[in-house]
Structure 1
Amino acid sequence: MKHWIHNKLAKVPAGIVIAALATAWALGAVLNEHGMARQDRHEVVRMTEKMKTVCVGRFLLDLPKEAQITFSTPRIDGFTVVIFPETLDEFQTRLAEREALIKAKPDRLGGDRNLEVAKEVRGDGGMTGKLLVHSRAVKEGTASNGLEIERYRHEGVAVEALMHGNGVSVNLASDFYFPDMVGNVLKLAVKLVPNPENKVPAEPGFCMDGAYLRDPLTADQLEQITMFARLPSNPDIRFLLILAAGLQPDKDGLIERDAATKSQFSPTERMRFSRLRAAPRTIGGIYGEEVVKRVHELNDSIVYSFWWEVAGTTDNIFVPHIVFQMDTGEGDHGPVPSSLSEGAAMGMWDRISSSIRVRPTQPPERVAAESPPTPLGSYAWAGERCPESGWWQCSDGGNGIGVLGGQRQYIRKGERMPQALLLPPQTLWEKLRGVQPSFESKTQTSWKLVDKRSRKRVPSPLPLAQATPVAAAGITSAGTGPSVMEQQGVAVGSFAATGLPCPASGWWLCDDPRALDGTRWFARGSLLPPATFALPPGGFSRSANSAKSIERRGAWRLVRLADAPEQAASDDNGKLA
């Protein structure tokens, strides 16, 4: 009995000891786990303490400030976009050499018409350059559709738009493009804005490395861009972001494809992969799927793979196909052990991936229901609705080639911009026959808004009083371009009187509607003339030699700043009026 009691008592302390040991082991494990969590959090905080925002396409992404970022060549509407720093002198030299090289090559028939179009381009965003269309090629042959043999013929041209602005050069190019769609590259070129410091734009558009494209762009233009990033402090960590708009979504999602891939491995190989996450995940309001894996490599390195994917849409540029990846253990000669623990890698991934969002843009201020006026220098293309009534200058013509209706034409708002009908010089035989040859440009005609007057500027029927020239007035006008004049406070709408120095070079309207002067250009510093008025017949005398006009002091109002008296009207022959 004692022995039994002794044995029972002996068993009680043993059970208590075992339970105590188990409790102590579990508590130590929990404390150790919590200690690792704190260490992981500290590591993530250290690496993400200083962040920078990167604009990629239409999205923003926050990365550690130390991240080194590179971009692949973007593609838009079938054109590759190459962007690089370059001085204006270097650009002009390269452009001249490129044009000369294209001209020197024979065309496909062995002739000297390899360069078909060389057109100056001036964009709204501060970039200028040239469009080159050349190297026409024809691909033809036969193909089987399964039942019969069909013959095909494809004709294409090489297209290059070489642009420069603010120390940045942009090449838009395609080696084989449909000839009747060459105007597409002009629509892109004029929307380019240099962005050498890669600042996040406030206006809508598509960000690239060193420049961006202003909207509107559409999904069917298939804009694509890829960004790569790495961390110098943790060189085994790599990031990848792919954006591609307008693509047909894959019928199988990321999770399903990952499972199908894993099933192709042997059981032994599958043991090296561990899924840590595999579930839908919405980031920045966009639905996607996420797969996170731990991989035991053949060299015993433990690495982590993170992948978030959006299937995308065919008609919404703000929901493109998206792939965002973060990988650890990336070495130059194969996998290396991850520099981050599993917890730290998870924390880093969650911190950075959660920052993906559509770039917000500032909506235009709506001061009235009507759209804002189209600024001078804006472009419109044949077939589009005219955005502003005024005088538009055709990009085609010149060098002996006329334009039907004149190279500058008055087009009313809402009318279709015309495709220019070009009039080459007549041969002697054509002159004898009274025949005028004509042809349409192979590229879409562009028109530039150069004046908003409602009618042509025609010479006065009577001589007008002239302004006293700058030199005679004893006032220098050096260095007084429009930007300087604006800084000096001479605004459109300012008034000046006869006999006073003209405060700004530009077009000045005589304030008296009865005067013959109308709107005239005066140079800064010249003395403003008196206004000229016509005398009624017989007002002072019935003699044929009597005066037909008088001069009197008047007031002049500035209507447009301009360095030179450029004309903006033309007659039917295309000559300046």
Structure 2
Amino acid sequence: MKKVHAGYLAFIAAALLLSACDGFPESFKSPNMTALPPRLQPMFEKTKVICFGRFQVEVPDSATIVYARAQTPFNTERLEGAGENLAQWVAKEEAKFRSTFQFPSSDGVTNYKETIDGAVPGQKIVIGYQDGSMLANIYQITSFVKVGADLFVQSTSAGVEPNEPGSDWTLPKKLAGLDATAGLLRARPNDEVPTEPGVCIDGGFIADAPGLSHEKIPLGVRFKEFPDVHLSIEVTKTPRIDDAHGVERRLKKAEANAQKTGMGDWYSRIKFFRRGERQIEGWKGYEVLARKPAQEGASENHQFLFESQGEPDDALKPMLDVNMDTGVKGNAAAGQKPSLEDDEAVALWDKLTSSIRVRPVGGAAPKKTSDAGSLLPLGELAATGRACPQTGMWECVDEGDIRGGRRQLFRAGEKMPAIVRVGAPSLWQRIKGETPTYRSATVWKLVDHDVPRPS
């Protein structure tokens, strides 16, 4: 998704020097108060709700939705209709590694390591060494998962052993994470808004589970009636907030630079509709709405922005970045004269941004169970946190001493649990009669449809 450019911040900063808010309608100054002008009203006679990540937005039914690469927590892309071409995509990835060589290249050792089967039927994982990494000390890992007619590609990296003690950046842990995520992934028509917890991505849905430490979901909206208007939304869950690059700080920094440009006349013609704090749903952030005048090589155009830092490690209140540009031609802002008037641009912005909210969950789980009249095939996978899709006996893929046993009975609709591992007690724990246990997420596999009768 497109980020705010330095030039944009510079002209907005210069506008801070002006009293440009004066003289505009009162509705311009207060979010959500701008009524739709007549030209926009037909657009919203029929609307649709779009799911992105854990959130939703309401847009005109005629709008086109553009999903970009997501991180959930691995880089994830959908290759629409490529499911039958799994072998070709795997071969292409293998060829990429085989065409480059480890250091020193004179040894003739390529960067290809191996291709393995994933935990999910129709999943292949290609492992190689990152090109250019000294002494081949970084693995590059790509997982291909066939889901229906589509192919989902997830990629990540890991350090070549030995790693720091307790490090999560190891090949076994990354492979386990890719397997677990693949088990959570299902196909989703982009007009479906799921009712269970999880993350919407392009053509798919990843059910909720422990371990989704990082989420970054970008979304674009294009309008049939006004093709030059582009809206982008991005939500990012991160472990910490870095407000050093917040909008207000960037504006102040850009303001100092703006006074040195010698473009006072151009700056004086900037129309600055709104700037300041705003709240969208649960996000407290900063909003800037402005229109810059034409200059050499660029048309006049609107550039609107809302940014909230969210809360650290809060999946339901991540960073939120919303942008809207008019006058877009191709992918270049200010490439043509805007098709929207000022009041129309502000009204459209308010209408769209006011509909962004957390997606409601808690309804009935999607019917994909024997209760719906059909049995899922043996070997079906379901990860910790997902609603059980089939009553039957399930076996976890993890080995070892597991409390309750590796094979357990779950009924459709139940939440698939984490496992409790039984560890070897230390000498002191044996003296005290204690047994150490550890909880961890896992992937369960359907192994039997028959439910044992109580004795």
TM-score normalised over the length of structure 2: 0.66
Deviation at 1:54, TM superposition (A): 1.2
Q: CA deviation at 1:59?
A: 1.2
Unpaired runs of 5+ residues, structure 1, are 1-29, 31-36, 141-152, 366-370, 393-411, 419-443, 453-481, 483-491, 494-506, 514-577
| Distance in 2 between residues matched to 1:73 and 1:450, nearest whole Å | 31
CA contact (8 A) 2:395 2:406 kept: no
Question: What CA distance in whole angstroms lies between the structure 2 residues aligned with 1:200 and 1:87?
Answer: 24
Superposed displacement of residue 306, structure 1: 1.4
Per-residue CA deviation, residues 420-448 of structure 1 (Å, 9 max, x unaligned), is xxxxxxxxxxxxxxxxxxxxxxxx99775
AA matched with 1:305 = Q
Deviation for aligned residue 1:69: 1.9
Amino acid at match of 2:85: E
Q: Is the 8 A contact 2:286 2:308 kept in 1?
A: yes
SS of 2:285's partner is strand
Match of 2:150 among 161, 168, 180: 168
- The two structures, once aligned, show a CA RMSD in angstroms of 4.1
CA contact (8 A) 2:393 2:407 kept: no
**Aligned partner (choices 267, 274, 278) of residue 270 of structure 1:** 267
1:326 touches 1:349 (CA, 8 Å); kept in 2?
A: yes
The residue aligned with 2:140 is 158
2:136 & 2:241 partners in 1: Cα distance? 25
What's the CA shift for 1:90?
Answer: 2.6
Contact 2:184 2:206 in 1 (8 A): yes
Give CA-to-partner distance per residue, 1:137-179, whole Å, 9 cap, x none.
7944xxxxxxxxxxxx882212121111221210111355542
Contact preservation (8 Å) 1:198, 1:210 = no
1:69 alignment partner in structure 2: 65
Of 279, 287, 307, the match for 1:282: 279
Query: For 2:387 and 2:51, how far apart are their aligned partners in 1?
Result: 28
Deviations 1:195-225 (A, max 9, x none): 1444111111111111121112557x32112
1:181 pairs, out of 164, 169, 173, with: 173
1:97 matches 2:94 = no
Quote how far apart the aligned CAs of 1:118 are: 0.8
Q: Percent identity?
A: 19
Quote the residue 2:420 is aligned against. Answer: 414
Q: 1:273/1:388 Cα in 2 relative to 1: closer, same or farther (>3 Å)?
A: farther
Asked if 1:135 corresponds to 2:132, the answer is no
Q: Distance in 2 between matches of 1:372 and 1:237?
A: 40
Match for residue 243 of structure 1 among 212, 217, 235: 235
2:194 to 201, 214, 223: 201
Note the C-alpha offset of 1:134. 3.1
Partner-residue secondary structure (3-state), 1:240: strand
Partner of 2:251: 258
Q: Write the distance in 2 (CA, Å) between the matches of 1:226 and 1:113.
A: 32
> Partner of 2:123: helix, strand, or coil?
strand
Counterpart CA distance in 2 for 1:351 and 1:450 is 46
Q: Distance in 2 between matches of 1:107 and 1:39?
A: 62
Q: Deviations over 1:266-297 (max 9, x none)?
A: 42232132321112111112211111112112
Distance (whole Å) between structure 2 residues aligned to residue 339 and residue 270 of structure 1: 22
- With over 3 angstroms needed to count, the CA separation of the structure-2 counterparts of 1:76 and 1:305, relative to structure 1, is same
Distance 1:293 1:358, change over 3 A: same
Q: How many residues align?
A: 355
For 1:490-509, list aligned pairs within 5 A.
none
Question: Which aligned pairs between 1:535-550 and structure 2 lie closer than 5 A?
Answer: none
3-state SS of 1:414 partner: strand
Specify the SS of the correspondent of 1:236.
coil
- The offset of 1:132, in angstroms, is 3.0
Q: Distance in 2 between matches of 1:224 and 1:115?
A: 29
CA distance in 2, matches of 1:186, 1:222: 16
Q: Deviations over 1:115-144 (max 9, x none)?
A: 34512422xxxx74123333377944xxxx
SS of alignment partner, residue 293 of structure 1: strand
Could you say which structure has the greater relative contact order, defined with CA pairs below 8 angstroms and 6 or more residues apart?
2
> Quick one: structure 1 residues 241 and 132, their matched pair in 2 at CA, closer, same or farther if it must change by over 3 Å?
same
Distance 1:295 1:118, change over 3 A: same
Tell me how far apart the structure 2 counterparts of residues 179 and 413 of structure 1 sit (CA, whole Å): 22
SS in 2 for 1:235: coil
Q: What letter corresponds to residue 324 of structure 2 in structure 1?
A: M
- Partner in structure 1 of residue 351 of structure 2: 351
In 2, are the aligned partners of 1:167 and 1:196 still within 8 Å (CA)? no
- Name the counterpart of 2:405: 389
**Match of residue 83 from structure 1:** 78
C-alpha distance in 2 between matches for 1:205 and 1:376: 24
2:224 counterpart of 1:228: no
The answer as to 2:47 corresponding to 1:51 is: yes
Alpha-carbon contact 2:77-2:154 (below 8 Å) kept: yes
Distance change >3 Å, CA 89–CA 251, structure 1 → 2:
closer
Task: Return closer, same or farther for 1:43/1:417 CA change in 2, 3 Å cut-off.
Answer: farther
C-alpha separation between the residues in 2 aligned to 1:447 and 1:216? Answer: 10
The aligned counterpart of 2:183 is 190
Tell me, yes or no, if the aligned pair for 1:63 and 1:352 is still in contact at 8 Å. Answer: yes
Q: What is the DSSP-based 3-state SS (H/G/I as helix, E as strand, rest coil) of the residue aligned with 1:268? A: helix
- Quick check: 1:73–1:225 contact (8 Å CA) kept in 2? yes
Partner amino acid for 1:235?
Answer: P
314, 319, 322: which one aligns with 2:320: 322
CA deviation profile, 1:62-98 (whole Å, cap 9, x unmatched): 1122212212211233x3212022365333x326635
**Cα distance between partner residues in 2 of 1:314 and 1:281:** 19
Cα distance in structure 1, aligned partners of 2:275 and 2:111: 59
How far apart are residue 262 of structure 1 and its match?
A: 4.0
Report the AA paired with residue 348 of structure 2: M
* Equivalent-residue separation in structure 1 for 2:405 and 2:220 (angstroms): 47
1:381 positional shift: 4.2
Residue 379 of structure 2 corresponds to which residue in structure 1? none
For the pair shown, which has the larger CA radius of gyration, 1 or 2?
A: 1
Q: 1:156 to 1:275 in 2, by over 3 A?
A: same
Q: Which runs of 5+ in 2 are unaligned?
A: 1-24, 26-32, 160-169, 366-385, 409-417, 425-439
What does 1:506-517 correspond to in 2, within 5 Å?
none
User: Per the alignment, in what secondary structure is the counterpart of residue 38 of structure 2?
Assistant: helix
C-alpha separation in 2, matches of 1:364 and 1:112:
51
Amino acid at match of 2:272: R
Kindly indicate whether residue 205 of structure 2 is the aligned counterpart of residue 212 of structure 1.
yes
Q: CA deviation at 1:192?
A: 1.1
Compute the TM-score of the two structures, normalised by the length of structure 1. 0.53
Q: Distance in 2 between matches of 1:360 and 1:39?
A: 27
Give a deviation string over 1:32-65, Cα, whole Å, max 9, x none.
Answer: xxxxx99962223222222211111111111122
**Structure 1's 64 and 417: CA in aligned 2 closer, same or farther, altered over 3 A?**
farther
Q: Give distance in 1, aligned partners of 2:81 and 2:423.
A: 35
Q: Is the 8 A contact 1:229 1:240 kept in 2?
A: yes
Alignment partner, residue 338 of structure 2: 338
